[in-house]
């Protein structure tokens, strides 16, 4: 297999490990820190800076999953393939949720609302499907 590295955050380590195992690869080392209330400590890092760091580190092709904004692909000087999870998630819903035609897709924030609204339109048999956006607001 070509020189491939897999990096994952902290949202689903079991899934990341299963993907790495299936591909016969090791997960790249990632350090994340959390506050006592489990909130992740984040300092903003621009997408262009991340793109430059990956290129300088020797990456010659990037595969991403559900980029927050598709414009981020333009920051890279190397090829970027952004894959979307919607088709696989929709397939899983249809195969595992008996009353999937009457389900409600919920998003915790405005960023996910686009995908949430898109789900019912992925199938012609979407009668009764609806979406709901719950906006979470943090007071600082």
Q: How buried is 140 (Cβ within 10 angstroms: 0-12 exposed, 13-18 middle, 19+ buried)?
A: exposed
Longest dimension (CA), the chain: 49
- Helix or strand (DSSP H, E) at 104: strand 104-107
Residue 127: per-residue pLDDT: 41
Q: Residue ranges per domain, the chain? A: 13-83, 86-133
Q: Report pLDDT for 6.
A: 82
Taken in order 52, 58, 61, 65, the sign of the CA dihedral is negative
Written as six digits, the tokens of 15 are 């899934």
> Could you tell me which CATH class the domain 13-83 is placed in?
alpha beta
Residue 118, both tokens: 């898109």
Count of CB atoms within 10 A of residue 112's CB? Answer: 17
Closest C-alpha to 91, from 80, 83, 100: 100
Local structure of 133: helix, strand or coil? strand
Q: What is the pLDDT of residue 106?
A: 72
* Cut 0.75: pTM above it: no
pLDDT the model gives residue 2: 65
Cα torsion 30, 35, 36, 39: sign = negative
pLDDT in tens, the chain (140 residues): 567 788 887 778 888 899 889 988 888 888 776 666 666 566 556 888 888 888 998 999 988 888 777 788 888 889 999 888 877 877 888 888 888 777 777 776 666 776 666 666 555 344 445 544 454 545 44
């Amino acid at each position: 297999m070509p020189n491939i590295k897999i990096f994952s955050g902290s949202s689903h380590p079991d899934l990341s490990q299963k993907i790495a195992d299936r591909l016969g690869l090791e997960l790249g080392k990632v350090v994340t820190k959390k506050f006592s209330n489990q909130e992740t400590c984040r300092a903003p890092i621009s997408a262009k800076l991340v793109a430059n760091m990956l290129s300088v580190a020797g990456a010659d092709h990037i595969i991403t999953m559900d980029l927050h904004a598709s414009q981020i692909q333009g920051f890279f000087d190397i090829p970027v393939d952004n894959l979307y999870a919607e088709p696989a998630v929709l397939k899983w819903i249809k195969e595992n949720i008996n009353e999937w035609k009457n389900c409600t897709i919920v998003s915790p924030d405005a960023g996910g609302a686009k995908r949430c609204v898109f789900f019912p339109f992925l199938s012609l048999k979407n009668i009764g499907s609806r979406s709901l956006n719950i906006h979470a607001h943090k007071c600082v």
